[in-house]
Amino acid sequence: MNFDRELDVKGLNCPLPILRTKKALAEMAAGQVLRVLATDPGSVKDFQAFARQTGNELVSWNETSQVFEYFLKRK
């Protein structure tokens, strides 16, 4: 998937991945896509809730070798 910016929050635990994602999205234009790489297993539910609460779209996510990859589209 194409993305406009990447954010690596591997090794960080809740709430830091979400806080850094929120800051990164705030610096992006509407419609741009942010790719986030995280290792916190709890981040799956966190990112789903974050997307619902903020209106940003969680386009997709997957896990490979204990690294979670999220694609969020800025509202």
Kindly give the residue spans of alpha helices, DSSP state H, lying in 1-75.
Answer: 16-26, 43-54
| Residue 14 is among the residues annotated as catalytic for this protein | yes
8-state DSSP, 4:
S
Instruction: Find the catalytic residue in 4, 13, 14, 42.
Output: 14
Instruction: Please check whether residue 34 is in contact with residue 21, taking contact to mean a CB–CB distance below 8 angstroms.
Output: yes
User: What are the residue numbers of the active site?
Assistant: 14
